A and B are shown apart, each in its own frame.
Chain A
Amino acid sequence: MALLIESVSKAFGEVKALDGISLEINPGEVFGFLGANGAGKTTAMRIVLDIIRPDSGSVTWNGRLNTELPRETWGYLPEERGLYAKMTVLEQLVFFANLQGVRGKAAVRETRDWLERFRIPDYADRRAEQLSKGNQQKVQFIAAILHDPQVLLMDEPFTGLDPVNVALLKQAFLELKDRGKTIVFSTHQMETVEEMCESIAILDRGRVVVAGSVRDVRRSTGRQMVRLAVQGDSEIAWLGTLDGVHVTRRGQDYTEAEVAPGHDPGTILAAALSRGCEVRHFQMTDPSLEQVFIERVGQIDATERTLAPSAVQR
Chain B
Amino acid sequence: MSGWRTLFPNAWYIAMREYRGRVRARSFVIGTGLLAVIAFGAAQLPILIDLSLSTSQTRVAVVVTATGMPSDSLAVLDRQLNGQSADPNAHKAYVLSWMPGGDVASARKDLEAGKTGALLVIDRDAAGDLRFSIRTDMPADGRVVQSMTPALTSLEIEDRLFRAGTSTAALLAPYDLTVSPVKGSPGGGRDASTEISNYLLSTGLIVLIFMAIVTYGVWVAMSVAEEKGSRVMELMLNATTPMQMLAGKMLGNGAAALTQYGLILASVVGGLLAQAPIHKAVVGTESSAQFGGLSPSVIGAFVVLFILGFTLYSLLYAALGSLVSRQEDVQSATSPLMVMIMAGYFMSVAGLQAIDETWVRVASFVPFFSPYLMLARVSAGHVEAWEFGLAVVLLLAAIAVALFVAARIYSAGVLLYGQRVGLRQIIRAARVPR
Q: What residues on B are CB-neighbors of A53 within 8 Å?
A: 432-434
CB B417 to nearest CB in A, in angstroms, measures 8
Q: Mark B1-27, 1 if CB is under 8 A from A, else 0.
A: 010000001100110010001000100
CB A258 to nearest CB in B, in angstroms, measures 41
Q: Which of A78-86, A178-186, A301-309 contacts B (4 or more CB under 8 A)?
A: A78-86
8 Å CB interface, B202-231 against A = 227, 230-231
Q: Are A143's CB and B21's CB within 8 A?
A: no
Whether A120 sits at the interface, judged by CB under 8 Å, is no
Whether B76 sits at the interface, judged by CB under 8 Å, is no
8 Å CB interface, A64-96 against B = 67, 71, 74-76, 78-87, 95-96
Whether A268 sits at the interface, judged by CB under 8 Å, is no
Nearest opposing residue in chain A for B230, CB measure? A82
Q: Are A82's CB and B239's CB within 8 A?
A: no
Whether A111 sits at the interface, judged by CB under 8 Å, is no
Nearest opposing residue in chain A for B12, CB measure? A98
Nearest opposing residue in chain B for A96, CB measure? B239
Whether B237 sits at the interface, judged by CB under 8 Å, is yes
Tally of B interface residues using CB under 8 Å = 25
Q: What residues on A are CB-neighbors of B238 within 8 Å?
A: 49, 51, 71, 74-76, 78, 144
Q: Are B240's CB and A140's CB within 8 A?
A: no
Secondary structure dominating the interface of A: loop
Q: Tell me the number of A-to-B contacts counted with CB atoms below 8 Å.
A: 71
Q: Are A99's CB and B21's CB within 8 A?
A: no
Q: Are B13's CB and A95's CB within 8 A?
A: yes
Q: Are B415's CB and A84's CB within 8 A?
A: no
- What CA separation (Å) do A201 and B239 show in the bound complex? 26
Q: What residues on A are CB-neighbors of B17 within 8 Å?
A: 84, 87, 95
- What CA separation (Å) do A74 and B240 show in the bound complex? 11
Q: Are B415's CB and A51's CB within 8 A?
A: yes
Whether A9 sits at the interface, judged by CB under 8 Å, is no
Whether A174 sits at the interface, judged by CB under 8 Å, is no
12 contacts between A and B (CB under 8 A): A76-B234, A76-B235, A76-B238, A82-B232, A82-B233, A84-B17, A87-B21, A98-B9, A99-B10, A99-B236, A99-B239, A140-B235
Q: Are A71's CB and B235's CB within 8 A?
A: no
Whether A312 sits at the interface, judged by CB under 8 Å, is no
Q: Known contacts A87-B21, A98-B13; is A52 also within 8 Å of B434 by CB?
A: yes
Q: What residues on A are CB-neighbors of B415 within 8 Å?
A: 46, 51-52
Say which size band chain A's interface belongs to: 20 to 34
Q: Mark B143-157, 1 if CB is under 8 A from A, else 0.
A: 000000000000000
Nearest opposing residue in chain B for A86, CB measure? B21
- What CA separation (Å) do A85 and B232 show in the bound complex? 9
- What CA separation (Å) do A75 and B238 show in the bound complex? 8
- What CA separation (Å) do A67 and B21 show in the bound complex? 32
Known: A80-B234, A83-B232. 8 other contacts (CB 8 A): A49-B237, A51-B434, A52-B434, A53-B434, A76-B235, A95-B13, A98-B13, A99-B236
Q: What residues on B are CB-neighbors of A67 within 8 Å?
A: 2
Whether A255 sits at the interface, judged by CB under 8 Å, is no
Q: Mark B230-273, 1 if CB is under 8 A from A, else 0.
A: 11111111111100000000000000000000000000000000
CB A102 to nearest CB in B, in angstroms, measures 11
Q: Known contacts A51-B415, A99-B240; is A78 also within 8 Å of B434 by CB?
A: no
Q: What residues on B are CB-neighbors of A137 within 8 Å?
A: none
